Copies of this chain bind each other. A is one copy, B any other.
Amino acid sequence: MALFDSEDEFLSWLKNRLPEPGRKVPVGVGDDAAVLRASRWRDWLVTSDFSIEGVHFSLRWHPPKAVGHRALARSLSDIAAMGGKPRFALMSLAISKRLSRAWIEEFYDGLLSLAAHYGVAVVGGDTARVRGAAVADVTVLGEQASGQILRRSGARPGDLIFVSGRLGLGELGWRILRRQQAAMRWKLNPTDRAAALRAHLYPEPQCALGEFLARNGLASAAMDISDGLAKDLSRLAQASQVGALVEEARIPAPEFIPRDAAQRLALAGGEDYQLLFTVPPAKARRIPRAFRSATLHRIGSITGTGKLRLSRQNGKETDLEPLGYDHFRRE
């Protein structure tokens, strides 16, 4: 019996079985979060994200505090992607035999610290024992003024493409954590090493940036980069029914490792939790060079071709393959 080939295929199958989005649910399955019309003035955003032992985290490599932090960060990043302000969270944890009480306490410490930092109230959830892998599922509710929410589908030809932060750093941190041979050969200095590890273990979702873009009506489309720039840009382009041309030299890859490897990490590394957004040319001047701690980089532009292209540093143009992370396939 054939299962689904990828998360995208599963989602499109599911989408076909659900009612069409309507007045009360302007955005349903398929964007970073669902949008619920709470009143004429406010929309609620809601999203759920799994963190599964052996898929999203490893008991061997990830300290429990980081597992809790990352479990919540995934959902916060979905809210950030749509320009919402995160408000409430529900935390469900299925506890396997391998978790100790100390592990559970540190897991919650990590989660609750991040929640407090973003002003999010943890209001409920569920708990149970499980045979096999431990599973956390975090639901976050956020809000934004009606009509200001950012979607994947609004990019138009001519819009400029921006990303926040430095891409590939999270994946680099993950490789360092696992002492992957290639990563060890790069002999990073302690500061760069710590930055990469921090990006992987304690990512900071770009909620303030998302809100800034939404409130000021600056972005025509946005999403978070959780599965690598190439794959996530292909999703944004597909949702907007457009193409894109990315300039390789402008992709903010880690600077302290060999250039080729850095580009690959930036394009296909998972879990950056940075924002990818498009801006109409007339508004591009209003995008600052940095927002809070994150630098903002213009990396290319939206095209009408329907194709993803990469303008390489050697002057040639090639297809940009939407390769990246798929938790659905990984096991």
Contact = CB atoms under 8 A, between A and B. Distances in A.
Contacts of A141: 36, 46
A299 interface: no
A289 to B, nearest CB: 34
A132 B129 contact: no
Given A92-B50, A137-B92, A29 B100 contact: no
Given A101-B3, A328-B129, A24 B137 contact: no
A293 interface: no
A182 interface: no
Nearest to A18: B122
A328 B29 contact: no
A330 B130 contact: no
B28 A123 contact: yes
Given A29-B125, A34-B123, A123-B36, A55 B88 contact: no
A46 to B, nearest CB: 6
A47 interface: yes
A329 B129 contact: yes
Given A46-B88, A131-B132, 11 more contacts: A38-B38, A46-B124, A48-B125, A50-B127, A50-B128, A52-B130, A54-B131, A127-B328, A128-B328, A133-B133, A139-B139
